[in-house]
Structure 1
């Protein structure tokens, strides 16, 4: 799965918009949305909300978790915890990036939110890399990491199998070397 596929999945996340037009329900494959009435909030898939915002048809209401106070709490919680904390949104980084790109003027404190999201991402990626390094050094055969998002898993996916393959080859070579040395000693 690449980042475009992760973004595609994130675009299905619900978002609240305030339309400035009137229209009956839209019948989509994923479900019905609407009706749309000017000034009345309605929940739509993120991809539709962004499309309507780009055409000037609505204002996007930021998700509850995109509040600087809540993000600061989440950042503190993440930095104080050894384990990964549960994120308020499965696709927090992608949703934030899409919303902040399409509707910066709709989001109060957008620059602060961008910074906090980036800080949280950096903390989690650093934690993920150190977890992977510990796993490889301990020569583990399986690991369990709770509360990772799809994008975070996707960020280490290209690296991890390659590293584990090298680790396996090294251990196999070391085992064969030890085996041949012990057989040589038996014959001596």
Structure 2
């Protein structure tokens, strides 16, 4: 899975919009949306919210967790803890980028939010690299990846898979009874 596929999955997350148009209920495969009445909030998937926003048909209400104070608390907790802390959304990074790139005028303190989320991301990726390095250097057989998002796993995936494959090859060549890299029969 590449980052664009992860972003595609993030676009299915639900956000609240305040439409400036009237429309009856819309029946989609993924579920019914609406009705849309001017000034009344409606929950819609991000992809539809961004489409309406681009056509100036709505105002996007930022998710509850997209608040500078809450994000700063999360960043500080992430820096204090050795393990990965729970994130407010499994797609926090993707949603932040999508909403701030397309609807920053609807989000108060957008630049501060962008900075704090980037700090959270950098802290978590640094932790991930350190734990991957520790995992490989200690020649562990398995790892527990609690509270990681799909994008974070996707970031380290190639490095981790290549490292595990190399470790496997080295271990199989060191096994007694193995010849020319073939695995012994058990």
Secondary structure of the residue that 2:134 maps to in structure 1?
A: helix
Query: Shift of residue 86 of structure 1?
Result: 0.5
1:154 aligns with 2:157: no
Residue in 1 aligned with 2:106?
106
1:134-173 per-position Cα deviation (integer Å, ceiling 9, x unaligned):
0001101101020000100111111111111112223344
2:48 aligns with: 48
- Give the match for residue 83 of structure 1: 83
Structure with higher Rg: it is 1
Q: Give distance in 2, aligned partners of 1:173 and 1:133.
A: 22
The corresponding residue for 1:134 is: 134
Q: Please give the alpha-carbon distance, in whole angstroms, between the structure 2 residues aligned to 1:172 and 1:19.
A: 61
SS in 2 for 1:157: helix
Range with greater deviation from structure 2 (37-46 or 159-168): 159-168
Residue 65 of structure 1 is matched in structure 2 by: 65
Secondary structure of the structure 2 residue equivalent to 1:21: coil
Quote the residue 1:182 is aligned against. none
TM value normalised by structure 1: 0.91
Cα distance in 2, alignment partners of residues 165 and 90 from structure 1: 28
**CA RMSD, 1 decimal:** 1.5
How many residues are aligned here?
178
Matching residue of 1:36: 36
How many angstroms apart in 1 are the aligned matches of 2:170 and 2:120?
35
Distance in 2, Cα, partners of 1:146 & 1:92: 16
Which residues of structure 1 form unaligned runs of 5+?
180-188
Q: Deviations over 1:93-117 (max 9, x none)?
A: 0011000011011100000000001
Question: What's the CA shift for 1:175?
Answer: 4.7
TM-score, structure 2 as length reference: 0.92
Higher helix share: 1
Name the CA distance, whole Å, in 1 between partners of 2:167 and 2:114: 38
In structure 1, C-alpha distance between the alignment counterparts of 2:166 and 2:143, rounded to whole Å:
18
Paired with 1:135 and 1:45, the residues of 2 have a C-alpha distance of 38
In 2, Cα distance between equivalents of 1:154 and 1:108: 30
Determine the structure 2 residue equivalent to 1:115: 115
Q: What is the distance in 2 between the residues matched to 1:112 and 1:119?
A: 11
